[in-house]
């Protein structure tokens, strides 16, 4: 099934469009897990990240349609961390979640192809594609231009996956280059228009393409503009919750039928407890439900079909 259709289908099944970000950091983990692994080596830290992430998946899988592991925190533990990332993505897929590997890759030609195939279609090895990270989609950086983006799209189309291109990021410094005005419009609009063209090459039955855009919830006006310019692209919206974006700020990312946007919450869900709280699993469950409820109240997400209150 086309990536955008699969994504929308998953949202309708869960009755919401929330993505739970998985950004494991040692100081945010439950003490229980930290104590078991000790954390005196990068391997032990990776094992703790893996245990936490796998248990978190069990909690959020019945609630949300999408998860987004943040590759940097796994990479911080070296090869053992990358092995943990692989297991987390595999379990998420096994639980029926749509997976977005947030690794913001970007390079040219065969190098881009290597990153893309690792994340999506699999690395060619002895004549067959062998899965590496095996995510459904990844995030990429557009600065290198068209021929640096195309290998990612090619790899995604080989496995009915998706690509999310950074358009307007959620950080305060995003404006430095993204808001420079060229030919009467900001750079991020030039990027958005390119994303629109790439996405239009391959629309699913839902009318959405397989190349989406990342636009931060911290910029609600820009979010509304991108939605208006490009009705056919899926928006992945970080910045809701801990980064300061309110639920209502994400409303304009959606079409009136509740389709077209995925709202990510990372620390708001995965770090919704004090490390010494023995009830941390219930706290994650509750935080995911709170995020969903908040967004159902203030965005068109409820049109997806309410599944729990």
Residues at the interface with a copy of itself (CB under 8 A): 23, 25-26, 39-42, 45, 70, 72-73, 75-80, 82-83, 86, 104-112, 114-115, 117-118, 123-126, 130, 132-133, 141-149, 166, 169-178, 180-183, 187, 190-191, 194
Nearer to a copy of itself, 40 or 228 (CB): 40
Contact predicate 67/20, CB 8 Å: yes
Least distance to a copy of itself from the beta carbon of 184, Å? 10
Least distance to a copy of itself from the beta carbon of 187, Å? 6
Instruction: Choose the catalytic residue: 13, 91, 93, 104.
Output: 104
Nearer to a copy of itself, 24 or 258 (CB): 24
68 is catalytic: no
Nearer to a copy of itself, 54 or 298 (CB): 54
Least distance to a copy of itself from the beta carbon of 259, Å? 28
| DSSP assignment string, the chain | --HHHHHHHHHHHHTS-EEEEE---GGGS-HHHHHHH--SSHHHHHHHHHHHHHHHHHHHTTT-SEEEEBHHHHHTTHHHHHHHHHHHHHHHHHTT-EEEEEEEE---HHHHHHHHHHHTT-EEETTEEE-SS--SEEEE--TT-HHHHHHHHHHHHHTT-EEEEEEE-SSGGGHHHHT-EETTEEHHHHHHHHHHHHHHTSB-TTS-BSEEEEE-TT-HHHHHHHHHH-TTSPEEE--BSTTSB-GGGGGGGS-TTS-SEEEEESHHHHT-S-TT-TTHHHHHHHHHHHHHHHHHHHSGGGGG-----
**Residue 159 CA to its chain's centroid (Å):** 18
Least distance to a copy of itself from the beta carbon of 123, Å? 5
Least distance to a copy of itself from the beta carbon of 102, Å? 8
Nearer to a copy of itself, 126 or 309 (CB): 126
Active site residues: 104
């Amino acid at each position: 099934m086309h990536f955008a259709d699969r994504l929308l289908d998953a949202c309708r099944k869960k009755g919401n469009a929330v993505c739970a970000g998985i950004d494991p950091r040692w100081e945010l983990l439950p003490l229980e897990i930290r104590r078991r692994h000790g954390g005196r080596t990068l391997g032990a830290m990776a094992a703790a990240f893996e245990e936490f992430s796998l248990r978190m998946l069990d909690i959020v899988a019945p609630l949300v349609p999408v998860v987004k592991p943040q590759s940097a925190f796994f990479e911080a533990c070296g090869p053992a961390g990358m092995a943990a990332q692989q297991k987390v993505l595999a379990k998420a897929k096994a639980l029926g979640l749509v997976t977005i590997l947030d690794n913001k890759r970007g390079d040219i030609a065969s190098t881009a192809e290597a990153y893309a195939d690792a994340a999506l279609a699999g690395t060619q090895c002895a004549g067959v594609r062998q899965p590496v990270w095996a995510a459904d989609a990844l995030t990429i950086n557009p600065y290198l231009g068209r021929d640096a983006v195309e290998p990612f799209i090619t790899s995604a189309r080989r496995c009915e996956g998706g690509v999310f291109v950074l358009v307007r990021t959620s950080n305060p410094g995003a404006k430095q280059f993204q808001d420079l005005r060229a030919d009467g419009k900001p750079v991020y609009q030039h990027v958005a228009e390119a994303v629109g063209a790439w996405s239009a090459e391959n629309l699913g039955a839902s009318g959405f393409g397989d190349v989406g855009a990342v636009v931060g919830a911290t910029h609600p006006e820009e979010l509304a503009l991108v939605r208006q310019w490009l009705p056919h692209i899926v928006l992945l919206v970080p910045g809701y919750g801990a980064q300061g974006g309110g639920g209502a700020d994400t409303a304009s990312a959606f079409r009136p039928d509740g389709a077209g946007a995925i709202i990510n919450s990372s620390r708001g869900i995965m770090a919704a407890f004090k490390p010494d709280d023995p009830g941390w699993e219930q706290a994650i469950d509750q935080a995911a439900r709170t995020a969903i409820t908040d967004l159902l109240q203030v965005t068109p997400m409820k049109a997806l079909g309410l599944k729990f209150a």
